[in-house]
Structure 1
Amino acid sequence: MPEPTQLLKSDRLNEFSTLELAQALMERLAISSNDWHRLKSNRKARASEQVAAALVLLLKDNPEEALLRLNQASGWLDRSISAPPCPTHGHNGDRQ
């Protein structure tokens, strides 16, 4: 039998729609600008971010965009994509 605290958590989760829960997960997994340099090449973090976004898009009835995000997540996991250089450290048009 579930613990009383587990029942309370479950009851609280039922207050939210599936879309609201997915959006909360997406917000939790999104890489903030403060963490960008630290996590830009973290494959698990990048894939998690993309999968959560795909779930939200799917729940919003946008399967094409969801599939693009899932493909991005797959690319992070299978190492077929990597992080682009940071735009603030990239090449300046004035320098050669």
Structure 2
Amino acid sequence: MSQATSQELLEKSTLELAQMLADKCAIAPNDWHRLKSNRKAQANQHITAALVYLQTSQTEEALAHLQQAVGWLDRSISAPPCPTHGHKH
């Protein structure tokens, strides 16, 4: 990491850094099928979302996302069905 980039990161708030990380770890809609069963990707998405909620003092939402992350990691939850399949339009 360059010195300029490091300095830019140091100038960001914890919330800004958490949001950047959450944005980076979010599963994009066009990647959903590919990553729907990827436990690491799913847990990453929930853990980083929990960090954002924690920074904004939304502890119940943070806890819910942490519980989802644990579920992915301990294999107690699995991928939901595709949101675009099975719906009648």
TM-score (norm: length of structure 2): 0.90
Q: Quick one: distance in 2 between partners of 1:40 and 1:53?
A: 17
More helix by share: 2
1:7-22 map, 5 Å:
7-22=3-18
TM-superposed deviation, 1:90: 2.5
Match of 1:48 in 2: 44
Match of 2:68 in 1: 72
For the aligned residue pairs, the C-alpha RMSD in angstroms reads: 1.8
TM-score (norm: length of structure 1): 0.84
1:61 aligns with 2:60: no
Q: Quick one: distance in 2 between partners of 1:90 and 1:83?
A: 15
Amino acid at match of 2:38: N
Any stretches of 5+ residues in structure 1 without a counterpart? none
Highest CA radius of gyration, 1 or 2? 1
| Paired residues, number | 89
Q: Quick one: distance in 1 between partners of 2:83 and 2:2?
A: 45
**Percentage identity across aligned positions?**
62
Match of 2:30 in 1: 34
Bigger relative contact order, structure 1 or 2, given CA contacts below 8 A and separation 6+? 2
Superposition misfits of 4+ residues, deviation over 6 angstroms:
none
Amino acid at match of 2:47: V
Amino acid at match of 1:89: H
TM-superposed deviation, 1:15: 1.9
TM-superposed deviation, 1:85: 1.0
